[in-house]
Amino acid sequence: MKVSVRKDGSALSHAPDNWHAIDWRRVERNVRGMQIRIAKATRESDWRRVKALQRMLTRTLSAKLYAVRRVTQNQGARTAGVDRELWDSPESRWEAIGRLKRRGYRPLPLRRVFIPKANGKERPLGIPTMRDRAMQALYLLALEPVSESTSDPNSYGFRIGRSTADAMAQIRVCMSQEVSAEWVLEADIKGCFDHISHDWLENHVPMDTEILRKWLKAGLIYNGQLQATEAGTPQGGIISPTLANVTLNGLETELMTHLGAKLGKLKAKKLKVNVVRYADDFVITGVSREILESEVKPWVEAFLAVRGLRLSEEKTRITHIDDGFDFLGWNFRKYSGTFRVKPSKKNVQTFYRKVAETINGHKTVKQEDLIRLLNPMLRGWAQYHHTVSATKAYSRMEHLIFQRLWRWSKRRHPQKNAGWVRKKYFHTVGTRQWVFAAPKVWGDDNEGLFELFQVSSRTIKWHKKIMGDYNPFDPMWEQYGEQLRQKRMWESMRYRKQWANLYMSQRGLCAYCGCALTDETGWHDHHLEYRMHGGSDALSNRVLLHPHCHQQVHTGRIAVTKPVLH
């Protein structure tokens, strides 16, 4: 496949001739350079230039390479669309680049699947084909700089560098003081992704309207029948979260503008109205129930109605902070004037049910295999809640899991007494007793124990909120964004100390391609000298690579060296 190279510097200066020859660091640099220019034009409200730059970006080789890599290395890469096609080889990925063309492009219908929700119901997903996913990823590269530059300061869902913990920290800022707002509107949009108006999207989303219309009207196939899509942007498309964010942008800034114009800026400020949004979930604080009922809620309903959306009557309520409210898996409440954030009862119950089902569903597996299944779950749950008052929840969860594991252990040996069962499955480690652990059977020696992750070992640490004005596509924020990414990756790795040390020694970059390692890309632990050839587990013999880089290194038998950083 021969690919032409542009002379504007936006594409690769030396076109590769196969997937393995791609210089990913150059690809990222080219794409980011164009995105920075789009964001600058957006801040200057130069919309003709924005459109021209977007068109230029979506036609470059670098952007197409980046889009194909993104959809072939994420979690959905092994889920096919209606054409049952997967790009699971370097040859198929390389060939796919030439198919990402605007002229003659017609997306195929979505494949309808359902996944279970926490409340027992099912969430509908629309799975695009690999080609359609790559086209969405390509146009998302051009849309994201615009959406980031025009987003509300306290919108945190599906945005670069922002998380649920940032939303939680903002609520703490708004409601933790003695003089803070005491009432909150808990808002829930009814079927947000399924009901967004297509007309509104086509008229207001700053991207190629013809391409957008084709995605929105592609239809979906369920039970072998083609169904038309008259509204909504289906969950499952890579661009859908950003479209939803664009739809709800202005909820915060326009509400403040409305209140200031109607009541005066000074009086509006005294109402202590603050909006905190994560994707389609949001809360709005206020100084009184009356303000939220008479001023805020009607305005929100009108704002949503224009976009084809409405609030859910049964899930939308106004609550006093002394009674507390749940948001993003946490409970926010004041106890005798003291503000506390704890894991919500619903979140704790849902997680325990998941752990119990895992234990019950693996009654005959080896102990080490059960630990290997449980540890990522326990580590992830503890990591999610480590920024709130979760000490009691951690202790309670450990007690419940211990009871489950004790029953699991006794069931395997009905003829043995409790002392024998304890000695086989539970051990003393330091000052800790009754540690569920198995003898290690891998590595340089067979000594030591493979332990179940101790949830209560996760240190509680308040989360420092991201700055509201942060824009990942503004060079002025470059250093701040880099420090933020490395700090948060270190936090997520801190209980895997060897990975954390490798990450920091590599400055957060893949040792093969030199691009950033993030939670989204993931990483693999690579031995420079393979263990089967006598290589050790020492950090000096290990580096972190992207999963796709790791596969490429092994497939091509490429020698990787320890990066030398200056």
* Cβ neighbour number for residue 167 with a 10 Å cutoff: 25
Q: Is residue 108 part of a domain?
A: yes
320 part of a folded domain: no
CA 17 to chain centre: 33
111 and 231 within one domain: yes
Token pair for 147: 């959406």
Examine the domain organization and report whether 505 and 538 are in the same domain: yes
For residue 16, give the nearest of 85, 68, 87 by alpha carbon.
Answer: 68
Tokens of 510: 């893949």
In a domain? residue 269: no
CATH number of the structural domain spanning residue 549: 1.10.30
**CB 62 within 8 Å of CB 27:** yes
CB 526, CB 472: distance < 8 Å: no
Judge whether 303 lies within some domain. Answer: no
Same domain, 452 and 479: no
The closest of 205, 206, 232 to 218, measured between CA atoms, is 232
Q: How far is CA 433 from the centre of its chain?
A: 36
Final residue in a domain of this structure, among 230, 247, 264: 247
- The answer to whether residues 343 and 331 touch, using CB atoms and an 8 Å cutoff, is yes
Distance of CA 174 to the CA centre of its chain: 24
Hunting for tokens 């303000």 — which residue is that? 291
Tokens of 111: 């494949």
- Residue-wise pLDDT for 501-536, tens only, equals 888 888 888 888 888 888 777 888 888 887 776 777
Q: Mapping DSSP to helix (H, G, I), strand (E, B) and coil, where does residue 132 land? A: helix
Residue 208 token pair: 């190629």
Question: How far apart are alpha carbons 294 and 416 in whole angstroms?
Answer: 68
Whether residues 145 and 62 share a domain: the answer is: yes
Q: Which helix (H) or strand (E) holds 332?
A: strand 330-335
- The total number of residues shown for the chain amounts to 566
Residues 449 and 480 in one domain: no
Question: Same structural domain for residues 84 and 200?
Answer: yes
| Distance in angstroms (rounded) separating the CA atoms of residues 424 and 375 | 19
List Cβ neighbours of 533 (8 Å cut-off, separation of 6 or more): none
Q: Other CB atoms closer than 10 Å to residue 164's CB: what's the count?
A: 19
Which token pair is 326? 């749940």
Closest CA to 24 of 513, 508, 507, 512: 513
How high does pLDDT run on average in the chain?
Answer: 90
Do 48 and 122 lie in a common domain?
A: yes
* pLDDT digits (tens), the chain, 566 positions: 444 444 444 444 567 888 888 888 899 999 999 999 999 999 999 999 999 999 999 999 999 999 999 999 887 788 888 999 999 888 999 999 999 999 999 999 999 888 777 666 777 888 999 999 999 999 999 999 999 999 999 999 999 999 999 999 999 999 999 999 999 999 999 988 889 999 999 999 999 999 999 999 999 888 888 888 888 887 788 999 999 999 999 999 999 999 999 999 999 999 999 999 999 999 999 999 999 999 999 999 999 999 999 999 889 999 999 999 999 999 999 999 999 999 999 999 999 999 999 999 999 999 999 999 999 999 999 999 999 999 999 999 999 999 999 999 999 999 999 999 999 999 999 889 999 999 876 544 445 789 999 999 988 998 999 999 999 999 999 999 988 988 888 777 766 778 888 888 888 888 888 888 887 778 888 888 877 767 777 888 888 988 888 888 887 778 888 776 54
Are the beta carbons of 452 and 404 closer than 8 angstroms?
A: no
Distance CA 184, CA 326 (A): 11
Backbone angles phi, psi at 183, to 5 degrees: -120, 150
- Domain range enclosing 423: 345-457
Domain boundary among 426, 457, 488: 457
Query: Is 9 within a domain?
Result: no
Q: Residue 229 has what pLDDT?
A: 85
- Position 316 in a domain: no
Q: How many structural domains is the chain composed of?
A: 3
In a domain, 495, yes or no: yes
Q: What is the C-alpha separation between 165 and 201, in angstroms, rounded?
A: 29
Same domain, 238 and 372: no
97 vs 554: CA distance, rounded Å: 23
CA 477 – CA 490 distance, rounded (Å): 20
Q: In terms of domains, do 484 and 379 share one? A: no
- Write out the two tokens for 262: 């109607």
Query: In this structure, are 402 and 497 located in the same domain?
Result: no
Domain boundary among 457, 492, 522: 457
Residues 241 and 364 in one domain: no
99 domain-assigned: yes
Q: How far apart are CA 465 and CA 333, in angstroms?
A: 19
CA distance 398 to 348: 12
Same domain, 496 and 538: yes
